[in-house]
Amino acid sequence: MQATAIAHPNIALIKYWGKRDVPLNLPAVPSLSVTLDTFTTTTTVEWGAPADRLEVNDQPQAGRPAERVFRFLDLVSSDRPPCVVRSKNNFPTAAGLASSASAFAALALAADRASGQQRSPQQLSVLSRRGSGSACRSLWGGWVLWQRGAREDGTDSHGEPLFAPDHWDVRVIIALVSAAKKPIGSTAGMLLTQERSPLYPGWVSSADADIIQARQAIARRDLQALGAAMERSTLKMHATMISAGIRYWKPETVAVMEQVEAMRAAGLGAWYTMDAGPNVKILCEAQDAAAITERLSAIGATTQILGVGGDARIV
């Protein structure tokens, strides 16, 4: 049997960084994201083939990426047959976007259906979390919360759709400043941060307050309050990483941050966030996006304007 699924990446407004359980991939903090439109991962799973095979963007994959995918399929069904997985991103991985989020959300959905199962979106979210934490938020469009959860088995740590995509028509501008490969992936970066950063306990204990503020701001469509909570979360996360010796920022990252602050001082509503990479994502109202990209282009950033995307789905 075969099935094809599409999922969008998401950007965390309030960040996930740190794990309370490594094998189950349970987060130390809750996080909150917005799903992006336009960018997609499309994944086909053939359940039953002569041998396991993975293709990403038409290129056969071996080694770690393939192992990660086929270990994940073992979670979909422990007595599975060999499978073929073909996955395509319509966006450059170099954009510093969480491609693992849309990848594992699409893979979980396609593999579940190809294997003749019918997990609920919540069960698919729990499953995709095992592949990559941020993937559990990409099952839904719009505004999604990922609860830390309290159960040891992780069944209460999954995405939860808070508001549908049409709740609020914001824009996320991707400002690409560097296509250089990041020095360390998020999984390893998180574990090093937990081990080494003296700021880590403060990062964990202050997360709930950011979630509450962001959630309330989204409910009343208050971009200033949401932007402030988002910047606080990203600055705290990066400060914690940096104190562990992990720095993803480049000089160009800081240049974009300064430009965003200058725009804000001039009355243009723009707020920044950065993930485990040097590129910056900027949150703004739809009507301000063109003026903001113009000012970012002036300092040499390549930009792309995205809106709010929908649910992961079978095609």
Closer CB to ligand DP6, 44 or 234, in the complex: 234
Which one of 6, 7, 12, 45 is in contact with ligand DP6 (CB under 6 A)? 12
Q: Which two tokens stand for residue 315?
A: 């095609």
- 89 φ, ψ (degrees, to nearest 5): -105, 135
Min. distance of Cβ 98 from ligand DP6 in angstroms?
5
44 binds ligand DP6 (CB under 6 A): no
Binding residue for ligand DP6, selected from 7, 16, 106, 138, defined by CB under 6 A: 16
The interface region with ligand DP6, picked from 45-53, 128-136, 216-224, 291-299 by CB under 6 A, is 128-136
State which residue, 111 or 241, has the beta carbon closest to ligand DP6.
241
Nearest to 113 by CA among 309, 260, 315: 315
- Residue 132 in contact with ligand DP6, rule: CB under 6 A: yes
Q: What residue number has its CB nearest to ligand DP6?
A: 133
Q: Please say whether the beta carbons of 10 and 36 come within 8 A.
A: yes
Question: Of 43-51, 78-86, 186-194, 257-265, which segment contacts ligand DP6 by CB under 6 A?
Answer: 186-194
Taking CB under 6 A as the rule, does residue 248 contact ligand DP6? no
Nearer to ligand DP6 by C-beta: 25 or 194? 25
Q: Does 127 bind ligand DP6 (CB under 6 A)?
A: no
- Pairing label, strands 83-89, 41-47: antiparallel
100 scored as a contact of ligand DP6 (CB under 6 A): yes
Q: How many residues bind ligand DP6 (CB under 6 A)?
A: 16
Judged by CB, which is closer to ligand DP6: 40, or 186? 186
Q: Residue 133 Cβ, how far from ligand DP6 at the closest point, in Å?
A: 3
* Interface with ligand DP6, residue 98, by CB under 6 A: yes
Burial of 116 (0-12, 13-18, 19+ CB in 10 A): exposed
Site string for ligand DP6, 192-231 (x = CB under 6 A): ----------------------------------------
**Which stretches of the chain bind ligand DP6, using CB under 6 A?**
12, 15-17, 25, 31, 98, 100, 132-134, 186-187, 190, 275-276
